[in-house]
């Protein structure tokens, strides 16, 4: 297992559409293991293969503390609106903003062994799933974000001011 280099906004591969995984073998599991190590080191909530330079439709998300390995995902349906929280990205360090995401997603994907999985995610996990799903289609969160700031502190001050103005 190894830490992979995360690519940053401006790298052309991040804007490409990832290709479906067709071979489920030891090298796929090893890539997931490397991605897990990389995600753990960066303390992120999700990481797609394209962010480490691999144009495959696969990512890891955390559901609480539990990592979920996702291959060839499909979003079957979505509903609601996830409470707006600061969204950031390991490939766009320092940027924070609001992105409207569904509060619930019904999804279908394969696990690292090729088995099909039907699942439903809500709240932050649904938001993370959609964020990583966007990566597979060449979309970065900054493409959808409003109230985009260069630091979390700036974003936080802005949100506090918004809350104060509502009162």
Round to whole Å and give the CA distance between 125 and 62.
7
Candidate list 11, 74, 100, 132, residue with the active-site label: 132
The residues, any chain, with a CB within 8 Å of residue 10's CB and separated by 6 or more, are: none
Output DSSP code: residue 126.
H
| Residue 12 neighbours by CB under 8 Å, 6+ apart | none
By the 10 Å C-beta count (0-12 exposed, 13-18 middle, 19+ buried), 26 is classed as exposed
Distances in Å between the alpha carbon of 160 and those of 85, 148, 153, 157, 167?
12, 15, 10, 5, 11
Q: Give me 58's structure tokens.
A: 């696969």
Give CA–CA dist 55/31, Å, rounded.
Answer: 12
Question: Which stretches of 9-145 are DSSP H helices?
Answer: 26-42, 123-136
Has 154 been annotated as catalytic? no
Active site residues: 132
């Amino acid at each position: 297992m190894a830490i992979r280099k995360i690519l940053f906004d401006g790298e052309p591969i991040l804007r490409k559409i990832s290709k479906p995984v067709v071979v489920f073998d030891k090298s796929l599991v090893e890539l997931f293991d490397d991605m897990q190590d990389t995600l753990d080191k960066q303390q992120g909530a999700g990481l797609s293969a394209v962010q480490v330079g691999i144009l495959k439709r696969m990512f890891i998300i955390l559901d609480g503390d539990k990592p979920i390995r996702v291959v060839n995902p499909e979003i079957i349906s979505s509903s609601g609106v996830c409470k707006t929280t600061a969204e950031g990205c390991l490939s766009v360090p320092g940027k924070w903003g609001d992105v409207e995401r569904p509060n619930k997603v019904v999804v279908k994907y394969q696990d690292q062994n090729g088995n099909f999985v039907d699942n439903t995610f809500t709240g932050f996990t649904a938001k993370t799933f959609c964020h990583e799903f966007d990566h597979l289609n060449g979309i970065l969160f900054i493409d959808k974000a409003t109230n985009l700031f260069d630091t979390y502190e700036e974003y936080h001050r802005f949100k506090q001011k918004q809350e104060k103005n509502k009162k």
